[in-house]
Amino acid sequence: MTSKFDLFVIGGGSGGVRAARYASSLGINTGIAEGSRLGGTCVNKGCIPKKLYSFASHYSEELNLMRSFGWKIDKSKFSWNKLVKNKKKELFRLNNIYQNLLENSKVKIFEDYAEFVDQNTLKVGNKYIHSKNILIAVGTKPRELNKFSNVNILSSDEAFDLKKLPKNILIMGGGYIAVEFASIFNGLGVNTSLCVRGKRILSDFDKEISEFIMQQMQEKGVKIIVEDFPEKIQLKQKDYQVFFKNKTRRYEKVMGALGRVPNISKLKIENAKIKLNFKGAIHTDDLFKTSAKNIYAIGDVIDKVQLTPVAISEAMTFVNNLKSNNKKKFNYKNIPTAVFSNPNYAFVGYSENEAKKIYKKIKVYKSQFRSLKFSMSNSKEKVLIKLITNALNDKIVGLHYAGENAAEIIQGFSVAVVNGLTKSQLDKTIGIHPTCAEEVVTLKT
């Protein structure tokens, strides 16, 4: 028996669920297939558990700070098992919320993986689906490290559910996932090392800010190995023996965090003649159309901007276009982004180097200072703020903040940047004192 739909969504992550719910609310007969837990990477293996673990890792510093404010802390003990258990409870709650949202929106849910039979037909488990339009929103998965296939290298997905914390760990990679996990493990008391092939971590981000974060992380105890990468890894007894260029080191755990790749291996996209781009992501035009008629794709699987709010907004744009036959293109400019490292980093707009390539002349305003919160302790933590303008019209084209609560601060200032605020207009704002955020409205060259 074949089920028929006007729109069928493959993937129950943030983008897929939003597209299905919204389409159904507009009267489009909609179904969705998800073979794992609803919520996708963000809820189950990404944003949510990562932020929860990031919170947990900061409390060791908070306890030390409390002593400088007069609090007497006799004993403190961290339980990894309790953190994992409570995390699972929270994710289960969110999974159920997604389930209820879909059911209340009258979306037909298929709890299995989908694969293409042809351009309008899918096989989901032992059922066949025919749909006028199909939306692919399957997200990504951790990149496999084939070079080290002889040993069991931990992935970022697996790191959330370790049976116990290791005494020490090596994290391979310098992107945001690697840096975030290095901060988490270090904050939880694990002797943490990070190795990168280049000269710095976060190489795709503003150079000055990434160097600042690297220095701050090192002061907090993370060992960062630059311009070196494992040539060979062997399991010796219970430890990993890691061979670098000129040195061999031993670790209890080794984790690979070298990015994520489109999660398309189960889709059988060749049956629908769907083309991939040079990165191996599903190729789409500006309206999310793939190379196959009436098949679309959104979210991380198209590798435009891999962020949950972007996938959700892409979903809304896609459904609106589908319903009204519009041709509205998605605007990827000035999307605020955060790295939940320790210290936090968030920004909106261009890096200094990007701005130099785009504008004839720029101005850079900076401030580095110690937060009042740390002034009575022995903490060396600092804040770095960097604002970039187009010197010809004074418009803010980039704002970067490295320090506690960076994401919360940048989220608010993003409104200004997105709407073309100038530095002169920003300067008219009276700051709230004493705060770190007030420095943004008092920046000087």
Residues catalogued as catalytic: 433
Query: Could you tell me if residue 290 is left (phi over 0), alpha (psi between -120 and 50 degrees) or otherwise beta?
Result: beta
Closest CA to 320 of 360, 288, 346: 288
Q: Name the amino acid, one letter, at 19.
A: A
Q: Distance between CA atoms of 136 and 127, rounded to whole angstroms?
A: 18
3-state DSSP call for residue 389?
strand
DSSP-H helix ranges across 271-389 = 308-324, 352-358
* 18 CB burial (10 A radius; 0-12, 13-18, 19+): buried
Cβ–Cβ < 8 Å for 33, 159: no
Q: What is the DSSP string of 315-344?
A: HHHHHHHHHHT--PPP--TT--EEE--SS-
Cβ–Cβ < 8 Å for 190, 220: no
Long-range contacts of 226-231 (CB under 8 A, 24+ apart): 226/195, 226/196, 226/198, 226/199, 226/200, 227/196, 227/197, 227/198, 227/199, 228/195, 228/197, 229/172, 229/195, 229/196, 229/197, 230/148, 230/170, 230/172, 230/195, 230/254
Q: Distance between CA atoms of 298 and 138, rounded to whole angstroms?
A: 9
